[in-house]
Amino acid sequence: SIYDPLVRYPRQPLYTVNRPNVTRVDNTFDEAIEDFTLEGTIPPEPAKLFAEAALMSDPVKATWNNLYQFNNCDPARVHVPTLVVAGDQDPYAPLHVQQELFLNLGRGCDRTWSILSNCDHAVHLLEGRKRLIKLISSFSLNGKQGEQGAV
């Protein structure tokens, strides 16, 4: 999660002079792999495979110019069943930030916060992916069962 109410992300200037308007940037291997550049986040081979797959599926780089918009999110306004998943080894999404997000979610709907042990930001690519899939499936199925019983 990039949501962190304690971080002030910089904003782009509203008006610029002599600055090119670039709306499309071609992706490269180095840019596709950049999420996994923190040492120990993911072994080199899965990172390489991820970057290759990312380039094949989306040759256009996602530009993250407006990170401040994530902090415009007001968790208290979320009133739908919500699953927050965190890896206890994730260097990008610290547990204290995920806790803040979870605790401030709107009331009145099911919400679950699950911390996967020995997992980091790339849990969906590594050994923890089966636990992640099971967690998501369980959350989805339990939510549907609850709806069927409601009158």
Per-residue pLDDT of the chain (151 residues; tens, 9 = 90+): 567 777 777 777 777 676 666 677 788 888 888 766 666 667 788 888 888 888 888 888 877 777 778 778 889 999 999 999 998 888 888 899 899 999 999 998 899 999 999 888 777 777 888 999 999 999 999 875 545 444 4
* 125 contact partners, CB below 8 Å, separation of at least 6: 42, 46, 49, 50
Nearest one of 67, 84, 62 to 75, comparing CA atoms: 84
The pLDDT of residue 11: 76
Nearest one of 132, 111, 112 to 121, comparing CA atoms: 132
The pLDDT of residue 122: 77
The pLDDT of residue 151: 40
82 forms bridges with which residues in the sheet?
Answer: 111
The pLDDT of residue 125: 74
List, for residues 37-51, the tens digit of each pLDDT value: 666 667 788 888 888
List, for residues 52-80, the tens digit of each pLDDT value: 888 888 888 877 777 778 778 889 999 99
* 92 contact partners, CB below 8 Å, separation of at least 6: 35, 38, 121
Reported pTM: 0.71
Burial class (CB in 10 A: 0-12, 13-18, 19+), 117: exposed
The pLDDT of residue 105: 94
Q: What is the secondary structure of 34-93 as a DSSP string?
A: GGG-STTSS-HHHHHHHHHHHHHH--BPPP---GGGGGG--GGG--S-EEEEEETT-SSS
DSSP state, 19? -
The pLDDT of residue 99: 92
